Structure 1
Amino acid sequence: MKKLKKVMTIVLSIAFTTVLLAGCGSSSNSQSGQDSQNTLEKVKKAGVLKVGLEDSFPPMEFRDNQNALKGFDIDMANAIAKKMGVKAQFVGTEFNGIVLALKSGKFDVIISGMSITDDRKKQIDFSEPYVQNYQIIVTKTGNTSIKGSKDLDGKKVGVGLGTTSEEVVKKFKNIKEVKKYDKTTEELQDLLIGRLDAVVVDEPVGKYYISKSDKKDQYTVLNERLSKEPMGIGFKKGDKELEAEVQKAFNELKKDGTMSKISTKWFGEDIYK
């Protein structure tokens, strides 16, 4: 009898603990969902939409000689925030850790020229695409040994750390060395001084930087496009109310011609025609 009582006591203890843990887990999940649902309310109450970005990605976002933050994404984020009745506040973050920073609540959205990929969609949600992006190859003018991706074998190639450029070059198995950079400007500079044979970069970023460089004649952009990558605004998983509000604001800006003006300003053409 004593043995039976002891067994029953153990069984009841285990059952109680299981229920307690399940309750805690349910509470935690419920709280997480509640936090996501309340993000829009918090933004409206504070009057601020916190935007995460990496500020060396021209023409999407970058700092000018006076350290002022400029770019396509900056103008778009400010216009979206205005439509929502709030102000945009920009939070600089290294791109390699930007998804984790969003998930931890450092800011409300990511607007940083981010390509929508299957891997990223497992971690965060995205708006509809707002820019169609491609990966391109840039070489130093006069380098006739690289005419396309097939010529990257045995070469040293620069990419942005944590970017889709880094993922794209993985399919080229015979590259001699892949060097990863925090800033696009650094990899393009290394290309000119001979530390790299080529750079793989987002098309709007590479072309804009080169067009503004006083050494633009020293860069050659190859015609080949390595991948097609739509860019989107990133949200925490389940943050559907904020996502819907931001998407609505963007759609209105596209309809009233604001996005066309921003596009022409930064890309030299209206990509929304």
Structure 2
Amino acid sequence: MSDEGLPETGRGYRRGPVLLRGNQIPKTTTDQRLLASDQDTDWLHSDPWRVMRIQSEFVEGFGALAELGPAVSVFGSARTKPDHPDYRAGEDVGRMLVEAGYAVITGGGPGIMEAANKGAAEAGGTSVGLGIELPFEQGVNQYVNLGINFRYFFARKTMFLKYAQGFIVMPGGFGTFDELFEAVTLVQTHKVTQFPLVLVGRSYWGGLMDWLRTSVLEHGTISEADLDIIYLTDDPAEAVRHVVERAHQIAAEQAALQAAAVAEKEQEEAAGPGAQGLWLPTTLGGA
């Protein structure tokens, strides 16, 4: 008998898709445990309950950002101070992205994230902060005008990727490296449609790019084409310009592919069923 009271064939106890046997078979049913009045609250911290919280984070994120429009995610260190040149470059990036018609998405924290949000907000644009629950963080910065706070990194990362038409990555630490390489990996493996990815700061990122071109490429663990995913510059204006131009180019390429697919389908439908079979011998004979 299953947990739902339905007869089961075969050996074992089935609870939905899960098969239980031997000492794994519970002594009570799901309904009994649900309706029991003397249970403790440990279930609030169990994995099945976490799944519900994870689901809620995706639902809230999708709901808040679905109508965001064109956006670019900007990454960088939370430790950068307002008097640092990187902070001022972050402000420029945020402002110029808004002027180019984009919303700005950051991790919502201090440092370069705050700078990009500040530039976007002061330019009158949408300044998004995707915060994360950490023991040493103090919530989203004051320049965020659309903020979402996440418990789980992977739910937050999905929002960075799903709603951005490009990434601009400024000098940062391990968190920035993580976001950079995850984005590169998703583009390289075609898990996402290719989008522009720019590193700002030759003196900071140049060593990494040299290592990729020598040790990594020469070792055969990446291809020459993989290096083309990343664009390196010192100029915030050039970074924004590259994102805008490359995003338009990718959109045009995708539109052309879709138009070609529609035209091919229309030709097949116009030819009627069996048309390919009729034409194939003629084509082969002509060859």
Q: Work out whether the TM-score is over 0.5.
A: no
Which TM-score applies when normalising by structure 1? 0.30
Which TM-score applies when normalising by structure 2? 0.29
More helix, by proportion: 2
Give the structure, 1 or 2, with the largest relative contact order (CA under 8 Å, sep 6 or more): 1
More strand, by proportion: 1
